[in-house]
Structure 1
Amino acid sequence: MEMNKGGGFGRGSRGFLTEQEKANRPKVTGKLLRRIGSYLIPYWKQMVLVLVAILLSSILGIVPSILAGRIIDDGLIGRNLNSLISLTFLSLLVTLGANLIGVLESYLNTWIAQHITFDMRNKMFRHLQSMSHRFFTTNNQGDIITRMTSDISGVQQIITNTLTSILANSITLIAATVAMYRKNWILATVGILIVPLFTIPTKRVGKARWTLTREAQACNDEINGILNETLSVSGQMLVKLFSMESHEYKRYEAANHRMIGMNIRENMAGRWFRLVLRTFSSIGPMLIYLIGGILMMRYDADLTVGDITVLVALLGRMYSPVNSLLNIQVDWIRSMALFTRIFDYFDMPVEIKNSPDAIIPDRSEGNITFSHVSFEYEPERPILKDISFSLESGKSIAIVGPSGAGKSTIINLIPRIFDATEGVVSFDGIDVRKLDLGFLRSNVGVVTQDTYLFNGTVRDNLLYAKPDATLDELKEACRKANIHDFIEAQPDGYDTIVGNRGLKLSGGEKQRISIARVLLKNPSVLIFDEATSSLDSISENLIQQAIEPLIASHTSIIIAHRLSTILAADEILVLSDGKIAERGVHNDLIEAGGLYAELYETQFRLVPDAAGKQ
């Protein structure tokens, strides 16, 4: 446990394990240690230099204490001015040397830690990018970000603090102990027996302060929660709509007041601790002076004032290392837990990945076939059951059905957002699992219901699909998506900032930019997943005008609730409870009087078609 200046514990110092940490204490194995070591191996030369620097710095650090004895005996008591000057100068040089070596050690430590965290962050980001969509829908987003940021940043602290602290404190302790026993074994033994007494107040007060720190952290988490909820875009809107400003202020004020009280108690605990610490830290030197004086005057004529001074100085050098090493178990357990959390993510299997001999065809036609395809997230809850259909290049299929029937799941199987549990999804006659992922996804364009735009310009968001696209290509795609005129009418044109998640644009404007972005990919297959849902009739009509020509000129799959879009498809699939309940064209399905006819009567007939008729 590290102390701050003055002997107190810094805020957030954690010298004690929580109950949860004790219960989830990681199992330290040789395999885990070797895996941790694998990140250090590339930097073994720098690690050797760090070890040498720590060794030299720790040894040189106690030399001035030893020289202090000679300065007193030879220089002051012996009245030898030359010795006084030379020894004082030598002490200063040694101190300067130790400090310079400490700076070098700190630089090397930081350099190694930064490069290791650089490697780990890159590896983690690449690994997370390769994880399936299932991973991101089932895991907490905050936890994912924590692994990428706080956990890996913690590794840097382990390398710069924990590992070097163990080495430096151990070397300092050994060197100080050897030097003390070389001076006088009796006084050295007395001093070492006193050291454990020094740790008693450290433990007791440290535990009390850690309890206060945990309470303060819980209160801080509450405050952060209030800020996140009320100062976000959606939260602020809700607060204003319900006129809850006063209520939220009082809630924040109460939490803030509790935090102030806890901070005061925590800081005062540190003040009393330093008082107790100073008292205990003076016991050792007093005993050495007392016993040393008795030995010097009665039993050991060779023992000098300088020797006693050296022993007192060395004893003072031992306090901090002993205290740190006594608490190293806590740091060690936390370090292992941190690595275990990171490795748990690294060990998560990549569900959707390229086959070792992935196929990259010379061209793409866009023929799609589902052959007895089933899919499930969990064995007891199947989503799709024995789905079979074919879509020829240049044709279009509309998929309709009640909410939860499995419509979106079907289209997610084509670009391998998920893989079928049973059966085969083929693209141009090849199982999609055998195709190169980059090739497959570049030839499948999906316009989703929930449009996502990055917080940048219109141009930035369009170039995400094709970074080397020219302005003419951007404009052509936007004309096809029926959004070019709107963009040109803006003061900044294609450099207009869209805002966080595109909040500066309407739903229809975002959706049309999304269509233009997909068109820039020039995919073989276009998929529209409820692209016009949740929009007003004007926006819906503008998007419809953009979609219908695209359906006529591309291989298309449409999930829609608008009748004119469905009528434009070459075939209609009606899904119910994960199965294809009906299939055919509009008139035939109406005459059949089944589920499609029911959907038509309750939903489609009430929605205006492209001509504005019902």
Structure 2
Amino acid sequence: MTENILTQNPHRPGVGARSPGRGPARLNPADRTQLKQHPVSLKRIAGLFAPHKATIAVVVLLISASSIIGLAQPFLVRHIIDVALPGKDLPLLAWLAAGLIAVAAATALIGVLQTWMTTGMGQKIMHTLRTRLFTHLQKQSLGFFTRTRSGEVQSRLNNDISGLQQVITSTATGVASNLTTAIATAIAMVAISPGLSLLSLIVIPPAVWFTRRVALLRRNITSTLQSELATMNTQVEEGLSVSGVRLSKTLGTTKRDAHRYTESSKRLIGLEMRSQLAGRWRMSTMGIIFSAIPALIYLAAGLPVTSGGMTIGTLVAFTALQGAIFRPVMSLLDLGVQWVTAMALFSRIFEYLDLAPEITPPARPVPLDPAAVRGEVRFEGVRFAYDGGTDVLLDVDLTLPAGTSTAIVGPTGSGKSTLGSLVPRLHDATAGRITIDGVDVRDIAPEDLTKIVGVVSQETYLIHDTIRENLLLAAPGADDAVLWSALASAQIADLIASLPDGLDTMVGARGHRFSGGEQQRLAIARTILRNPKVLVLDEATSALDNATEAHVQAALDRLAVGRTTLTIAHRLSTVEKADQLAVLSRGAIVEFGTPGNLRDSGGAYARLVEAGETAEFAGHAAAARLTA
């Protein structure tokens, strides 16, 4: 179900997508699809509001009070016109005028108080959802994030929850306010003139029907318009990015791409014209209605048969009420769209909250002091398959004695990285178990396991902050002397010291301020601060040039001293110093021994060495030809 959701159009509009002057909210078909795939329980939504019952009750009272107080204005105006002005009663006129000001002030004050309460309640609910979702997603396995489309998690955490803020503070209160206002206004209209009220009721339904027809027409046009805009955005993203420009220039597709964009832009002209005209039709219709109904009321008031001795004040008051009822009624007609959109947002959030973590912490973790761990690692009959597919690892039995180094080599796709990922529990074995000092890693508390097992991979990740803050992630209480010692062990202290800001140098987004090899050495320094007894080196130097690799490898060698090290490598030169070596092929260990013995035996490892030396020789020869 989740994967279907993740392939939806990323250009979905927000809650009750509405543009100023562009008619009622448009229902996104993706919202209905979302609700069908992941229905939402109203009881569950009510549970979010349960802690705020008192606030909701007060807000409802405020909305009702505001609507009722606001209705006093037409009656005050009627009394001014019919009594105070004809009778030249200045004290009464003053009191009535003061009443008009008081009504305006009271409704404004109530509006501010209502906004303050609903915004506070909404923010608290959003805080609850946001933190709950973030914490829950942290529990998901690495596999969840590799399956999920880039940006989808951020979208649900930020866009969807922000959209719910509008639902709570604007849509919900707007519906309550419009409903209260419409009912109270209708009652007031009947109280002032039952006959004119009947006339308004006769005119409003066909007017509402016509405006809805125009809105539906515009909705269809807007849907096509959004689709075309999404196409153009995709063309810009694909054609004007660095990779896209390189591709178009090398394939000679620049004219074709320009033609496609031009045609989309031409179609956009026609769609925008139709959209604007449909919107203008709706606004014109609304204007005619607002003019026609008062005109009919004035006509009825002037005819002897229908006037019934109506006063001017009554006519003015009724016209004001009639104008006030039309907008809330039109807003309530959009309630269905707003409801579906709001439920779709709740559905998207609850869908992630309902994801069962593939890797769960132990209910009763085995006490294990990270400082006292020896570091012996055992793989016992380990099998693993991604998402219930074909086994990637087949009955792996392997022992890593404490304090020794073990290398894993093999062709691409043999399962090397998967094997390494099982030690820190980035994945869990499908069968068998992995132990550290005889304790199954699934029985070790996650916070203890992260202190015991350190990982240095090919893809180094540095947060967008200073060098100091990146290092303190591993040791929050470390002082500068400890940080500089770790940097020295990682062979990068001299470089950092030469920078104007030293430890306070910003590393930039994803560490782009530094080269790949420098980023690796910063990551190694961070791991040194963590001081793990077990170390997993997953292709840590595979993306580096030979000179940079030498520096990083020296730092890794210092890091590995006294630790149980599992090295996964493509470059065989990095594993020659290992105490023992295992060759993986199609998920199974096909050779095991010391690097020297296996190289001399003429088996699988010897063939890998020969192939690697041939490739290295070919690379040197190619480089020599380019230099010549």
- TM-score using structure 1 length: 0.90
Aligned with residue 364 of structure 2, among 357, 376, 383: 357
Contact 2:410 2:570 in 1 (8 A): no
Label 1:491 to 1:85 Cα distance change in 2 as closer, same or farther (>3 A): closer
Alignment-derived partner of residue 342 in structure 1: 349
The 1:584–1:9 alpha-carbon spacing in structure 2 relative to 1, beyond 3 Å, is closer
Matched with 2:20 is: 10
In structure 2, the residue corresponding to 1:597 is in which secondary structure?
Answer: helix
Q: 1:9 Cα shift? A: 5.5
| Secondary structure of 1:102's aligned partner | helix
Deviation at 1:284, TM superposition (A): 1.8
Aligned to 2:605: 596
- The superposition leaves residues 530-574 of structure 1 with CA deviations (integer Å, 9 ceiling, x where unpaired) of 111121110111112222233343210111234443221111111
Once residues 186 and 511 of structure 1 are traced to their aligned partners in structure 2, the CA distance between those partners, rounded to angstroms, is 83
Rounded to whole Å, the distance in 2 between the matches of 1:9 and 1:471 is 54
Q: Matched residues in 1 for 2:482 and 2:38: separation?
A: 57
The amino acid of 1:169's aligned partner reads: N
Which residue number corresponds to residue 319 of structure 2? 312
- What is the CA–CA distance in structure 2 between the aligned matches of 1:42 and 1:408, rounded to whole Å? 47
Q: 1:529 deviation in Å? A: 0.8
Contact map agreement 2:578 2:595 (CA 8 A) in 1: no
Partner of 1:451: 460
Question: Structure 1 stretch 63-72 or stretch 566-575: which is displaced more?
Answer: 63-72
Distance 1:73 1:494 in 2: 80
Residue 132 of structure 1: CA displacement? Answer: 1.0
Deviation sequence 1:2-29 (CA, Å, 0-9, x none): xxxxxx9617765342444445545998
**TM-superposition CA deviations, 1:392-450 (whole Å, max 9, x none):** 21111100000111111111111111111111111111111111001001211111011
Q: Deviations over 1:249-299 (max 9, x none)?
A: 8877876776677556544543343222111222222222222333xx347
Closer/same/farther in 2, CA of residues 250 and 486 from structure 1, 3 Å limit? farther
Q: Which moved more, 1:414-423 or 1:140-149?
A: 140-149
Q: Displacement of 1:191 after TM fit?
A: 1.0
Q: Secondary structure at the match of 2:575?
A: helix
Q: Distance in 1 between matches of 2:315 and 2:586?
A: 88
Cα shift readout 1:21-40 (whole Å, capped 9, x = no counterpart): 445545998x7111111111
Check the 8 A contact 2:375/2:533 in 1, yes or no.
yes
- Please state if 1:84 is matched with 2:93: yes
Matches within 5 A, 1:231-250: none
**1:359 to 1:166, Cα distance in 2 relative to 1, 3 A:** same
Do structure 1's residue 327 and structure 2's residue 343 form an aligned pair?
no
Cα offset, 1:528, TM superposition: 0.9
Q: Is the 8 A contact 1:57 1:98 kept in 2?
A: yes
- In structure 1, the partner of 2:485 is 476
SS at 1:527 equivalent: strand
Given the alignment, which residue of 281, 285, 302 partners 2:290?
281
SS, match of residue 386 in structure 1 = strand
Q: 2:114, 2:223 → 1: CA distance?
A: 33
Tell me which residue corresponds to 1:50: 59
Secondary structure in 1 matching 2:432: strand
Aligned-partner SS, 1:148 = helix
Please give the residue correspondences for 1:167-316 in structure 2 after superposition, counting only pairs within 5 Å: 167-222=176-231, 224-225=233-234, 228-229=237-238, 266-294=275-303, 297-298=304-305, 301=308, 303-316=310-323
* Equivalent residue, structure 2, for 1:5: none
Q: How far off is 1:336 after superposition?
A: 1.0
CA distance, structure 1, for counterparts of residue 589 and residue 38 of structure 2: 53
Distance 2:612 2:58 in 1: 74
Summarize deviations over 1:30-71 as a string: whole Å, max 9, x none: x71111111112222221221111001111122112222222
- CA deviation vs aligned residue, 1:214-242 (integer Å, no higher than 9, x gap): 34433443454456557767667778999
Q: Verify the 8 A CA contact 2:365 2:445 in the aligned structure 1.
A: yes
Report the alpha carbon displacement of residue 154 of structure 1 after superposing the two structures with TM: 1.0
Match of 2:390 in 1: 381
2:566 corresponds, among 557, 564, 567, to: 557
Moved more, 325-334 or 63-72: 63-72
CA shift, 1:473, in A, is: 1.5
Matched position secondary structure for 2:158: helix
Find the partner of 1:163 among 154, 172, 179. Answer: 172
Name the stretch that deviates more: 183-192 or 346-355. Answer: 183-192
Residues 548 and 565, structure 1, Cα contact 8 Å, conserved in 2: no
1:404 to 381, 390, 413: 413
- Which whole-Å CA distance do the structure 1 matches of 2:308 and 2:288 have between them? 31
Once residues 262 and 546 of structure 1 are traced to their aligned partners in structure 2, the CA distance between those partners, rounded to angstroms, is 61
Identity, in percent, stands at 38
CA distance in 1 between counterparts of 2:306 and 2:231 reads 65
Partner of residue 146 from structure 1, selected from 155, 160, 163: 155
The answer to whether the Cα contact below 8 Å between 1:456 and 1:499 also exists between their aligned partners in 2 is yes
Partner of 1:519: 528
Q: Aligned to 2:516, which of 486, 492, 507?
A: 507
Instruction: Give me the whole-angstrom Cα distance separating, in 2, the residues matched to 1:12 and 1:125.
Output: 36
In structure 2, how many angstroms separate the alpha carbons of the residues matched to 1:193 and 1:61? 25
> Which one of the candidate residues 533, 537, 555 is aligned to 2:542?
533
What one-letter code is carried by the residue in structure 1 that aligns with 2:105?
L
- Any conservation in 2 of the 1:133–1:417 contact (CA below 8 Å)? yes
Structure 2 residue aligned with 1:429: 438
Q: Check if 1:442 corresponds to 2:451.
A: yes
Give the root-mean-square deviation of aligned CA atoms: 2.8
* SS of equivalent to 1:504: coil
Q: Does 1:496 find its partner at 2:505?
A: yes
Could you tell me whether the CA contact under 8 Å between 2:32 and 2:344 is conserved in 1? no
TM-score (norm 2): 0.88
Asked if structure 1 preserves the Cα contact closer than 8 Å seen for 2:528 and 2:559, the reply is no
Alignment CA distance shift 1:11-1:369 (3 Å): farther
Q: Which amino acid aligns with 2:425?
A: R
Q: Which amino acid aligns with 2:191?
A: R
* Cα offset, 1:201, TM superposition: 3.7
- Any idea what SS the aligned residue of 1:441 has? helix
Structure 1: segments with no counterpart, 5+ residues? 1-7, 609-614
Instruction: Write out per-residue CA displacement over residues 454-506 of structure 1, whole angstroms, 9 at most, x where no aligned residue.
Output: 22332222222222222221222122222222222333333333222222322
Paired with 1:321 and 1:489, the residues of 2 have a C-alpha distance of 67
Preserved contact between residue 221 and residue 275 of structure 2 (Cα < 8 Å): yes
Alpha-carbon separation, structure 1, partners of 2:50 and 2:262: 51
Q: In 2, are the aligned partners of 1:28 and 1:336 still within 8 Å (CA)?
A: no
Cα contact 1:563–1:605 (8 A) shared by 2:
no
- Contact 2:23-2:282 at 8 Å conserved across structures: no
Q: Measured at CA, do residues 239 and 515 of structure 1 come closer, stay the same or move farther in structure 2, by a change above 3 Å?
A: farther
2:135 & 2:164 partners in 1: Cα distance?
Answer: 18
Query: Contact (CA 8 Å) 1:574, 1:580: kept in 2 or not?
Result: yes
Q: Match of 1:355, SS?
A: coil
Change over 3 Å in CA distance of 1:576–1:114 after alignment to 2: same
